[in-house]
Structure 1
Amino acid sequence: MIILNKANITFIGTFLLLVQVVSLAQEKILTNNPAQDRYPNWSPDGSKIVFESDRDGNWEIYMMNADGTALQNLTDHESNDRSPSWHPDGNAIIFQSNRNDTQGIFMYILQNSRIEPISLEKFNYEPEWPRFSNDGSKIIFNAKTNENTFNLFIADKEGSHVEQLTFDVTRSLWGSFSPDDQSVLFFSRRDSNGEDDEIYIQELKHKKLTRLTNWPKHNFCPAWSPDGEKIVYATSMENSRPELYIMSKKGRDQTRITFNEDGDTEPSWSPDGNQIAFTGFRNGSYEICILDLEK
């Protein structure tokens, strides 16, 4: 069923600017639990979604079918296991955990349910939010480098040859490789005196940096479309919780796609480009939701 949502309308003086009207299918809520379910990530074949949940008293990594069935706790450990994402071959899941008394990166191997650490060579910080490159050869993650300072790093898949990508005095977070692995998408407070988050793309070869958003609130949690042409992200709204937007890879044609007073964040694009999974605050807790994009 296709539902026509209200337009995003901005008043500028006496002029009325109609930004965009978005047609979207009805939202699906995949989880229904009084605990917190967050950070969804699609499997490469689109059949499954992994996410983090504290429904067992601490953060664990869960996996379910893309329709919300066959829910499974993968980690089942007394430590906090968080921020899962898939290896591009679909056979493993990378995540962060404090199971060795300090924050580190681990891999869950689906074939044998084995969990293996990824030791970062000569790295003295605690890594967070790890993600593979699309060819599986690299890992990008962020780490706190000083008080209130976070930066992005790239390492080989075995954890060797760690290279610092950003050198900010505020924070740069949530890095992900473009589909061709030539650029990195992230959000940062580098140009706002630490006041608000904006979205950037940095080319890896020439180090060219492009700022995509300019909004005096927060633009954060960006994710590439499978073809690399679009970006979905969260934006803090005036006097309300964040909503999801889609824009071109050049930061143009910004289009609002959610209209929920409770807020939406942490989007993840399905491999076929037709759906977006995200974290939505519903009925007093965070749930994993899916939005069908208009064909």
Structure 2
Amino acid sequence: MLCFATVLSGCGPQLVNFPFEPGGRSLNSSFADLQPRVSERYIVFVSDRSGSQNLYLYDTVVHSLVELPGLNAIDLLVSSPSISENGRLIVFAGSREGRSGIYLYDRETRQLRNLTENLKAEVRNPTITADGNTIAFESSADGQWDILLYNRDGQPLEPLTDFR
């Protein structure tokens, strides 16, 4: 069990304790909660609360889980979530039928897309920029783990070469 006493940023760090709720309807529960990421008012994390590994979103302002219609599926294992600053876009690594992908979920349109469907490689550990326009992730396309950048439409971006 991971107890969510986390540091949130704002005017400065503050320690926030969330109460324990054994039924899994709050942030702290007796279930395995993994890989939490914080963005503004939201915490996105992976948990086995429903009997399978699903992605959850917690709103720290209203103190409740947020519904994510169309995101979690019985045939999709999720890991490594990340969320845009405004909480609209969630990116995560997923595995379906033994094939890994980087998925983007838009809370406004309730659409889930595999951004790397045409990439012939294993992928892992995505992160999304605060504005939600760029996704970075690891890919084994060249036989080693490299970092790739994609826009949120699933198009590869030119690699950064100037590291001044």
TM normalised by structure 2 equals 0.73
Residue identity matched to 2:163: D
How does 1:184-199 map onto structure 2 within 5 Å?
184-192=135-143, 196-199=144-147
Contact 1:61 1:82 in 2 (8 A): no
Flag the structure with higher strand content.
1
How does 1:139-158 map onto structure 2 within 5 Å?
139-147=90-98, 149-157=99-107
CA distance in 2: counterparts of 1:141 and 1:206, whole angstroms:
13
CA distance in 2: counterparts of 1:204 and 1:71, whole angstroms:
32
1:114 to 28, 41, 64: 64
CA distance in 2: counterparts of 1:208 and 1:117, whole angstroms:
30
Could you tell me how far 1:156 is from its partner in structure 2? 1.4
How does 1:174-253 map onto structure 2 within 5 Å?
174-192=125-143, 196-205=144-153, 207-210=155-158, 212=159, 250-253=160-163
Residue identity matched to 2:92: F
RMSD between superposed Cα atoms in Å: 3.1
TM normalised by structure 1 equals 0.44
Structure 1 stretches of 4+ with a deviation exceeding 6 A read 65-69
Contact 1:140 1:176 in 2 (8 A): yes
Name 1:128's counterpart in structure 2: 79
TM-aligned CA distance change 1:61 to 1:159, over 3 Å: farther
Any idea what the Cα deviations from partners look like across 1:86-108, whole Å, max 9, x if unmatched?
Answer: 34xx2221211110101112122
CA distance in 1: counterparts of 2:101 and 2:72, whole angstroms:
16
Name 1:236's counterpart in structure 2: none
Contact 2:48 2:54 in 1 (8 A): yes
Which has the bigger relative contact order, CA under 8 A and spacing at least 6? Answer: 1
3-state secondary structure, aligned to 1:136: coil
3-state secondary structure, aligned to 1:118: coil
3-state secondary structure, aligned to 1:129: strand
Return 5+ residue gaps in structure 1 as ranges.
1-57, 213-249, 255-295
Does residue 61 of structure 1 match 2:1?
no
Pairs aligned (count): 153
Contact 2:89 2:132 in 1 (8 A): no
Q: Identity across aligned pairs (percent)? A: 15
Residue identity matched to 2:34: R
CA distance in 1: counterparts of 2:154 and 2:57, whole angstroms:
31
Residue identity matched to 2:64: R
Residue identity matched to 1:184: I
